[in-house]
Chain A
Amino acid sequence: MSDHSKTADAVASADAVAALDWLSVLFARPPGADAVASHRRGPVADLMTRLGGDADLAWGIARMRAALDGDEDDGAAAAKLERAYGLTFEGIGGPRTAPPYESAYRGAGPRRLFQAPTAEMEALLDEQGFTVAADIGLPADHLAVELALAAWLASAGGPASAAMTRRLADWVPDFAADCAAIDRDGFWAGAAAALAALAVREARLDTARQDDRT
């Protein structure tokens, strides 16, 4: 293992799992006022401060913080984020949508949901003894679900975690690029950018670790 990868790995291990878990919750549903409060001055704000110190994640985290820095109260800020969430992810924006589903980026046809990645994720969840909560109403390849599983796997480490990270690294950068083109306010674009940077970096490190072993 190289010195560089050791340093980077140390940075990731401190908060990478927490970041995956946090982003899973965030992408599942837009934050309410209490969640915005946490992002501004609570536990999530602390986490964001730590993550923002990571050079790869700094740009995305900064965009998120900038979007939260307005004068409006937490409720108004939450409303703004919810509107942007709807326009960016839910299809309200029509063709200019960044679908938070792996199928949209890796499916048989562009922008089509419920493709092979949905089945692949269902199988991965099965392997871990999980299924998507019925009242969530999300397919298994929704970004939030993938991140929840990634967080779970990362907390244990091992090959399954590395595979999940590579999976995210395969499509999240394209998703993040779409978010950047759509989300004018920048919170969701920042979150996607930070996630893409984390996933790509972790995947690269894993590859480097494998190379070191061979």
Chain B
Amino acid sequence: MSRMTHDEFQAEMSRRAFLRAGVAFGALGFAAPSLLVSGARAAAAPDGEVLTGSHWGAFRAKVEGGRWVSVTPWEKDPAPSHQLPGVMDSVYSPTRIKYPMVRRAYLEKGPGADPDSRGAGDFVRVSWDQALDLVAKELQRVEKTYGPAATFAGSYGWKSPGRLHNCQSLLRRMMNLKGSFVNASGDYSTAAAQIILPHVLGTLEVYEQQTVWPVVVDNTQLMVFWGADPVLTNQIGWVVADHGGYEGMKALKAKGTKVICIDPVKTDTAEFFGAEWIAPRPQTDVALMLGIAHTLVDEKLVDEKFLKTYTTGYDKFLPYLMGETDKTPKTAEWAAGVSDVPADTIKDLARRFAKNRTMIAAGWSLQRQQYGEQRHWMLVTLASMLGQIGLPGGGFGFSYHYANGGTPSADAPVLTGITDGGKAKEGAAWLTESGAASIPVARVVEMILNPGKEFDFNGVKAKYPSVKMAYWVGGNPFVHHQDRNRQVEAWKKLDTFIVQDFQWTPTARFADIVLPATSSYERNDIESVGDYGGSAIIAMKKVVDPVFESRNDYDIFAAIAERFGKGKEFTEGKSEMDWIKSFYDAALTQAKAKKIAMPEFDAFWNGTGVVEFPVTSGKSFVRYAKFREDPLLEPLGTPSGKIEIYSKNIEKMGYDDCGPYPRWYEPAERLGGPTTKYKLHIATSHPKSRLHSQLCGTKLRETYAIAGHEPCWINPKDAAERGIADGDVVRVFNDRGQILAGAKLTDAMRPGVIRVNEGGWYDPQEPGKAGTLCKYGDVNTLSMDVPTSRLGQGNCGHSVVGEVEKYKGPAVTVDVFTAPKAVT
């Protein structure tokens, strides 16, 4: 292949033009790149299909001429997600980050320059070497100048699956080699529950196997989905989704089991089952549970034997329930006043729960609210009073809605992955103990705004570090964090913000240095299928070559580590395929010991690319069955070994927002609240056609956007009172911010509650300006950035009230520069 310079190219054209028309044109007067070279292009990978995996499930990618042209769900997926085409769309999105880029002011003036211009989109393209040098130099400067607790690398979010290209582990692996950093604990999904439940049950609970669906189908007489919408949310998995939950739900429906959905929204799950819909005021679930519990006591439906044998502290909870401690008996009538569910309905629920083998499947939305810890604690208390915990098809479950919990577990080996060099915690991949300091993950803005401020967290006191720099991978905090305007102001305090991603997310737009990463489909990796089922190990083979100048996270961090002289320590001398083989071989060793059939790596990788495992004992798993059978030999991990309705450990903490037993706390704002200013609750539910904010930038958006905006579901009665028609552009607002949305009138909304799904990409009309209008509809512009309590410090993404009106402002679509119609 011979390279023709632009001048030579132009000279050749000039010669041709002169020969044709006698016209010779001169040089452009400046250096210009030569776009074309003579010779043939490199051969593309052969045409064919590649089996790979994603959060949305496994699929076959058809490749032609080196391009990915279509998606077909894996034939063994029982319920493929309609979102799969969006995955391909994201890879080929115009919003791919194509080259390393640096914010202009930062590049010209250095760290901390002109922070107000963050988010304005003024970036300069730089070379990879320049970008990596900048990153390495700044990491070293911040550590040398301010110490190890000045760089936040507790990066959080729904990164891509894959055991090697786990960008968050890789980031922390590099940071651990560099020195240290500020880490984060917990997550945005279950922060309150994963702190309170170990006190109550001795386990995280939220990420553990449920009583499996076949047992539920056979034994459950009454299935209750409380703040859970598994038909919608089980589309996705943290690893490669297996969609086993859909088989269970289909079987339950086919059997005709009675289903109740307790939710302010008539969910997809309610529609699927033709369920009975009970719609309380949002955030009043604890009151509703207390009303049911009071009825159980009042009507002598409590399982006293269970409480005595398997729990502690009921005797201290009971006086509160009956109003002996605060002169407010938590009767059904009292609960009706708070929740707006009729007292007769509450009593009826208590009777039906007690009479039937009842499984209460609660979602995590319940605990992403102020005082969120109380919901799960009270639900466990209620289930304890019913006495069905540990019985087939009875009790409670906190993960039927997540990653297909309840799918029977296969007899499979554990697939390991690359480590971050810190000490991993059991239960969730992102919980580690590395770092110079650690904060509860949802307090990141609080940390930036209040360096040195003391905070409580699960019985420990600590101070927020003074962070000057943040490095984010595999997440989108400018969508998933609460109170966007507060966050924008906080970010101005950072010297440097680095984002490594494959798309221009709202977060990337607020960065100083942006590094283009490959998507999962431009690299090789390996992953399990099914978070709970673990039915297979799948080769996530590269589908297409990296597009533009994107590089693998592994290679990016290795290059940064190399600049610290730690490149070899980072890679351990292993290539991408070396790592993948090592993970597989570790699983193979386990499999051989357990006599589980597994091929050697080469046969796996070069063969079908998937190895499946049998399901045997997993088909009959009943959560807490062993504990119920023998609480002395199979105690829980609590101090008492029993379910703790009263926690002495929490009592010792002395928190005013989380006492030693579950109780009703009036949130700062709620629908019908005594001091609440606004008349509408804003439900910030999960979207049906996104994974949080992932795929918002794809063609899927066209299937749900209204007038180009995120939908705002509203009951026709509420809409009529405000003069809003279906399809109108509306402004949703409160004291924290304002967004535009598209009105969708529907009876699926309880009156008084509107719904704007979380995950819509933040699109500020004036980036960096406090209170500016979000033109697309990022509902976290409206949510409040307060902790669930001093115990859990989780986020309160569902504690939102506000108002909605028909939008009467200037059109936000720019069309004033429309060119005259082209000559035709």
Contact = CB atoms under 8 A, between A and B. Distances in A.
13 contacts: A13-B23, A18-B25, A44-B30, A91-B93, A104-B94, A110-B702, A122-B65, A125-B41, A136-B35, A145-B35, A148-B35, A155-B13, A155-B14
A136 B93 contact: no
Interface residues of B, number: 80
Nearest to B547: A114
Contact of B503 (A91, A125, A132, A186): A91
Contacts of A43: 26-29
Contacts of B101: 86
Contacts of A115: 67, 92
Interface stretch (B117-125, B297-305, B423-431): B117-125
A212 to B, nearest CB: 19
Nearest to A129: B38
A164 interface: no
Nearest to A182: B814
Contact of B819 (A24, A29, A104, A189): A189
A14 B6 contact: no
A125 B25 CA distance: 24
Contact of B40 (A79, A126, A173, A176): A126
B9 interface: yes
B48 to A, nearest CB: 16
A156 B18 CA distance: 10
A82 B37 CA distance: 26
B761 A155 contact: no
Given A90-B98, A97-B94, A149-B36, 11 more contacts: A15-B25, A35-B29, A43-B27, A86-B122, A103-B92, A113-B96, A119-B67, A131-B40, A155-B13, A156-B20, A193-B822
A29 B28 CA distance: 14
A193 B33 CA distance: 23
A14 B23 contact: yes
A152 B13 contact: yes
Contact of B25 (A17, A79, A134, A149): A17
A76 to B, nearest CB: 11
A132 B122 CA distance: 28
Contacts of B699: 109-112
Contacts of B69: 108
Nearest to B708: A95
Contact of B1 (A35, A131, A173, A180): A131
B39 interface: yes
Interface string A91-122: 11111110101011000111111110011001
A10 to B, nearest CB: 9
Given A91-B93, A92-B509, A181-B813, A204 B823 contact: yes
B549 interface: yes
B34 interface: yes
A192 B701 CA distance: 27
Contact of B761 (A94, A139, A176): A94
Contacts of B64: 119
Interface of B: 1, 3, 6, 9-10, 12-14, 16-17, 20-21, 23, 25-41, 64-65, 67-69, 85, 88-89, 92-99, 101, 104, 120-125, 503-504, 506, 509, 544, 547-549, 697, 699, 701-702, 708, 761, 763, 776, 813-815, 817-820, 822-824
A101 B92 CA distance: 11
Contacts of A31: 30
> Taking chain A's interface residues, is the majority helix, strand, or loop, or is none over half, making it mixed?
helix
B104 A83 contact: yes
A180 B817 contact: yes
Contact of B124 (A82, A130, A139): A82
Given A122-B65, A129-B38, A131-B1, A86 B123 contact: yes
B16 A156 contact: yes
A1 interface: no
Nearest to A50: B25
A47 interface: yes
A130 B601 CA distance: 41
Contact of B122 (A83, A112, A176): A83
Nearest to B503: A91
Contacts of B504: 90-92, 94
Contacts of B6: 25
B812 to A, nearest CB: 10
B37 A34 contact: no
B29 A42 contact: yes
A173 B822 contact: yes
A131 B94 CA distance: 22
Nearest to B90: A112
A142 B89 CA distance: 18
Contacts of B23: 13-15, 17
Contacts of A18: 25
Nearest to B16: A155
B814 A94 contact: no
Given A22-B28, A97-B95, A152-B13, A87 B121 contact: yes
